[in-house]
Chain A
Amino acid sequence: MVGVRVLPVGPRAVLLEVADVASAVALAAHCRAASWATEVVPAARTVLLDGLTVPPDRVAAALASWTPEAHAAAPGGLVELPVVLDGADLPDVARLWGCTRTEVVATLTATTFTSAFCGFAPGFSYLSGLPADRTVPRLPSPRPRVPAGSVALAGEWAGVYPTASPGGWRLVGRTDVTLWDADREPPALLAPGTRVRFVEA
């Protein structure tokens, strides 16, 4: 397949589609460095360039030969998050993964995650890096309130709730670290591209 599919999004934006989340992370870093747009918004399989400062054809031409291998992103900064892995859904995750709770904890602490993109709430980072066979479905119905700092899993992702909110992810632990602070620069601790490790507190 072509490295990057360029899809039109009205006159001032393009959506760049790639094969996987690692490519999206690398492409977002590439586009941000190129300063092609006001907004560079990575997601699971795409990068949105919104508020283009160059013509869309120029972006397409510049990316014609782009491959994630040739343009691997420099590894982002590493954040070690102290966590207590005692979440309410840990037994369910162990059952879904067909292993013990201890093995779930071992997998979570052995993985170096990458913040692929933010969504759902300011500073809520979708962390990629779990083994491909370690997915979990969302809860059938979301909890009305998940406390800030909750460490949780859904689909192929791990995440940490930056603020208390309703939520359908499966809770595996918690951290006391502040994930989102509008008065801090940068406000999001786990901005896209950041590498993350869970360390048992």
Chain B
Amino acid sequence: MGSSALRVAATGPSVLLQDLGRPGLAHLGVPRSGALDAPAAALARRLVGGAADDAVLEVLLGGLEVVLEADPGSGAWVAVTGAPCSVAVDGRAAPHGRAVWVPAGSRLVLGRPASGLRSYLAVDGGLPVAEVLGSRSSDTLAGVGPAPVRAGDRLPVGVRRGEPGNAEVPPARATGPLRLHPGPRSAWCEDPLAALTSGAWTVGADSDRVGLRLHGDPLARRRTEELPSEGMVLGAVQVPPDGQPVVFLADHPPTGGYPVVAVVEEADLWRCAQLRPGERVRFTRAR
């Protein structure tokens, strides 16, 4: 049997390999990385019968075209989750959020999503490119891990290990305000939880995998001296001198020097991966 692969014919603005990232290396200056909408990536893996740590493709605003290279007569199960985009196999519409059979030689095309930003493509045998520090995630801050996926790349597809799981029910996706926990430097701003939960925030166009940048009435700093750099967590709400908060996402720097006044509930972080520039964000206190 020959080895299977996805040949990349075209990409949109960004296609990245992502898995569960590299937790445990922050003390060496290595960002955690990993799929930004982790529940969507996990669902895609389960739909194709893959393993929990298989790499998937994180596709920003669609535009991905791949051809499955495999032995004639064979094929692969794939699944697309996350931002709802059109899915087509050799020009025929296929469902989003379900396992889809792609015969050898077929072309799979992901369209631009109507809402959200990031769609996830899982393949049944995973995408076993070489690991870097125990992970196949592309980190966009420090450049650790595989390079961004480009047209012309050939991504290896591993051997199928399970059966597709179309009985899989997508977990309920919470809506409503993002829940906030207190942060270590709440005292550095004037009642930051009140300011964050009462304000209307707009997603900035400069948001990325490092952070969701929000614009609104600036948070008033109570202390203006420099804070020595300290360790940062996923979901940290950092307040730079301009008072415009940044929610740290998977590629955040492991340490930072601006005060963290709140932390977004981990179960709500996937939504930060899907908010488009210009969309409104509201916060509430976590119970």
Contacts and interface: CB of A to CB of B under 8 A. Distances in A.
Contacts, number: 106
B28 A50 contact: no
Contacts of B265: 10-11
- Tell me what chain B mostly uses at the interface: helix, strand, loop, or mixed: loop
B255 A9 contact: no
B110 interface: no
A99 B153 CA distance: 56
B181 A8 contact: yes
A88 B190 CA distance: 44
Interface string B176-188: 0000011111000
B231 A43 contact: yes
B233 A50 contact: yes
Interface of B: 23-24, 26-30, 132-133, 142, 144, 181-185, 228-233, 235-236, 253-255, 260, 263, 265-266, 286
A28 B183 CA distance: 20
Contacts of B144: 122, 182
Given A9-B260, A11-B181, A192 B230 contact: no
A118 B28 contact: yes
22 contacts: A7-B185, A8-B181, A8-B183, A9-B236, A9-B260, A10-B181, A12-B266, A13-B263, A15-B230, A38-B24, A39-B231, A41-B255, A42-B27, A43-B229, A44-B230, A46-B228, A48-B232, A51-B23, A117-B255, A120-B253, A122-B28, A123-B29
A193 B34 CA distance: 28
For A9, A10, A12, the residue with the greatest tally of chain B CB atoms inside 10 Å of its CB is A10
A166 B108 CA distance: 40
